[in-house]
Every structure is written in C-alpha cells, then in structure tokens.
Amino acid sequence: MTARRTALVTGASRGIGRAIAERLAADGFDLTLSARTDGPLKDAADELRAHGQRVETVPADMADPAEVEALADAHLELHGGLDVLVLAAGMGVGGELSTYPLNRFDTMMSVNVRSALLLTQRLLPALRTAGSAPSGPGAKIIAIASITGVVSEPGLAAYGASKAALISLCESITVAEGGRGVSATALSPGYVDTDMAAWVHDRVDPSSMIRASDIAELTVALCRLSRHAAVPNIVVTRPGETLWRA
C-alpha cells in the first residue's frame, strides 16, 4: 500500500493558501492547515474534509519563532512525515521608501522570510526522507512570493525586498538540497483576486486579476514533478500586459 502524501500549508484560512489547500486535498494529500486565527482555520478544515482526507489545524503566528517551531513539530507529530511544505502566509504593507517604519519592516521580514527559513530548517529531516526515494516525486517547498520581488513597483519597496529574499531562499534551498530530493519553488504572481489586492481595485479591475485557483493549479503541478526536475521561480502575469505592469 502506498503511503499517503502529506502537506503543511501556512496562510491556509483564506486567499491563495486556502485555494492551494483545497487543490491538495482534492489531489489526495493529508493536510495540516495553519493561520493566525483559529475560527476561520477550523471552518476551512471542515470544508476540506469533504474530500475524504485527514485535515488537521494548528494556529500559529509566523512572526513568533516559538510558534513557528511548534507548528513544525505539531505537523510531524500528527502525520509522521512531510512531502510538501507550502509557505503561503505573508504580510504586505506598502509605504514610501523614505519614511517606511523599520519596526514594520522587521515584522514583515519575520513573517515573509524568517518563518520560511525556520520552518524549512525544522522540517528538513522529514523532507529529506520524503525525497529519498529514487523513483518518487521528491519533496517540494512551494513559497508564495510576488512579482514585486522580481520587478520593483512604487510604494512596495519593503514588501518587494522581502519577496526577493524569499525567491533567493528558494533558489538556495534547491541548490543545497536538490541532491537529496528536496526542491523549492517561488511562485511570483502579479495581482491575484484576493482581499490582499483590494487596495488596488480603484485602478485594477478585479475581474482581470489572476485567480487564486491558478496559483493552486501550479502548486499541484509542481508536486507531480519527479525529483529530477527543479523549478526555482515562476512569474505569473496577466495576459496582455508587460512584466512591469502585471
């Protein structure tokens, strides 16, 4: 009997993380869902269990290293292993470069980058085990970055810097761990039609935005690749626009 694959999804109560969790459950993954707020997280888990998979919830604040470590340990205790780590939790706050508060920048880096590194470090032994089968798909880390980490946008210097760091981290993970069957991919979309993009609805029609389901489909496709294929970064833009206006 083939062991069921497991995934840990952060930021799983809404938006892109929620859409990814839905697709992974439909694809047969047992899941641990995490987000800061317990209520919406449990609501998401109740819906996803309709796919017949085991779905557990562990609330955690990605800005708190102790909670990040506890999340990793809880997943392993619940499932015994890990095949896919989805880093969808994120913080995005715009502001002028010249006056951007450093304490806000520090928090954003903690949520967007430090938590990703800490989760990877804590879960790396389990990921290496999952990636060790020569004929298997390997272990995957999927991080939700942003097109602002590739091409700068006015007012998003700090946010873009955090996402550029996340993209670089994924590349470094693949270089360091690819030989052990562990690879990381940063997904770097333009505006996705979630509540995080509501602030640009006055100049970008929500109906023209990338769908969260598009990012979820890419995630599942990456999880089906063999351990011999690594995809460091995928930029997702809206049709008919240049990269700089995605």
Cite the active site residues.
Answer: 159
Ramachandran category for residue 26: left, alpha or beta (phi over 0 → left; psi -120 to 50 → alpha) = alpha
From residue 139, alpha-carbon distances to 39, 100, 184, 229 in Å are 30, 37, 9, 11
Residues β-bridged to residue 185: 142
The C-alpha angle with vertex 86 and arms to 84 and 89, in degrees rounded to 5, equals 160
d(CA 36, CA 86): 15
Name 147's Cβ contacts closer than 8 Å, sequence gap at least 6. 188, 189, 190, 235, 236, 237, 243, 246
SS3 call for 226: coil
Name 105's Cβ contacts closer than 8 Å, sequence gap at least 6. 158
